[in-house]
Amino acid sequence: MSTKMQRPRGTRDFYPDEMMVRRHVESLMREITERWGYREIATPTFEHLELFTEKSGGEVVEGLYNFKDKGDRDVALRPELTAPVIRAYVEKLQKAPKPVKLYYFGNCFRYERPQQGRFREFWQFGVENIGGKNPDAEAEVIALADALIHPLGLDTMLRIGHLGVLRQILEGIPESLQSNILRLIDKKDDEGLGAVLDEVDAPDEQKYNLQNIISTTGDDALKFADKVLSDPAPLGEFRTLLKIVNTYKVDFEVDFSTARGLEYYTGMVFEIHAEGLGAQSQICGGGTYQLAQLFGGERTNTTGFALGFDRILEAVSPKPPKNAIIYVACTQEVGGSAVKAATIIRQHLNAEVHIDLMQRSLTKQLAAANSIGAAYAVIIGEAEVNQGTVTLKDMMTQEQRMIALTDAIEEMKRHLISHNCSHNLICK
């Protein structure tokens, strides 16, 4: 007896009803992003391993799906899409007019113990604005992230910080240790942060300033930064950014404890958190960074974000419009006519059109039409073939009449649209 096959650990199957929701949200995000002038890019599912170790060091390998291919090359399934997109930009798009505005949607992989809300295969929807001038590009990217999430009706909080402000407070501490401190701030690891500050023998004033600015939000955080920063430039740029974000009418909170914890970020960083997800509440993260020069390109400011598509789907239960379902039923003697009618209907209406594939009786075909929620049945028998007509049956009212197929198509279209029902019947 053969062994029952199961999917690999940390992966999921998405069945039709769930895929309908996923595709609906994905389509909504694509439509909004393209209205903002961003164009889609797709990159390979696997890349050379060094693409991901170049910016993060060898320790990142522990969390990757990496392996040697048959040519003895080190490759890895992509853990995220920012690095592949910037690699592709360096290869082909460096001379393109700036800004280069790209978006992507794809699956990513991480090798870690699966847990609630975290899988080994997951999906990201993201944006990269390459070469845009700050702070205008930064504000647009933040506003676009908000615009993608807002229609989903989630209760969210957008937090914006600036690493330039934090690094100025950390002056005097070696840069490598600064990056570690920023990771601890991002993880809200107060105990670990205190230990590192003690280890580097940070002055009490520096400890106080850092603890104060990361535990204060809003205007109070900005006012405190005004008092303690020796160079006002980063804070001035940050205030300009916030003013532009306000112009977009986006609600946010200034929070310098938003540090993202990734070394390639250079200035503004932001996160969006959603209610109802517990500890895994972050659904979006992004900021301004420089990566192109690490991959052989020119140093270029880039602002981008990635949405945790799976987490968003956990937090929202959208009800996408369903296509109208039309069932073409026929007697066995005229099966060819049903195929022809179904083909014509598919050419004129954006609907699910089914025909009988089980050689059932006409009565059982109509029962099948009812069971799948068909709005209409188009019935064809010898009488209809002889008269060049079809019988159009409204499955809700059970009313039916014999009319020409072209008239039946027009009637289905008018009736479903005029009644504003849940069906999404749109003329092609």
Sheet holding 352-355, edge to edge: 352-355, 325-330, 376-380, 390-394, 400-403
pLDDT the model gives residue 11: 93
pLDDT at 318 over 80: no
Q: Which of 3-12, 111-120, 387-396 has the highest mean pLDDT?
A: 387-396
pLDDT at 428 over 80: no
Beta-bridge partner residues of 405:
none
pLDDT the model gives residue 117: 67
Say what the pTM is: 0.88
pLDDT the model gives residue 56: 64
pLDDT the model gives residue 280: 77
pLDDT the model gives residue 423: 42
Using pLDDT thresholds of 50, 70 and 90, give the confidence band for residue 40: very high
- Tell me which DSSP letter residue 91 carries: I
The alpha carbon of 356 is separated from its chain's Cα centroid by a whole number of angstroms, namely 38
Fold of 325-418: Rossmann fold (3.40.50)
How far apart CA 106 and CA 208 sit, in angstroms, is 43
- Rounded to an integer, the average pLDDT of 166-184 is 88
Sheet holding 156-162, edge to edge: 39-40, 100-109, 121-130, 302-308, 282-289, 265-274, 156-162, 253-254
pLDDT at 315 over 50: yes
Residues making up the chain, counted from first to last:
428
Domain ranges of the chain: 16-315, 325-418
Specify the CATH number of the domain 16-315: 3.30.930.10
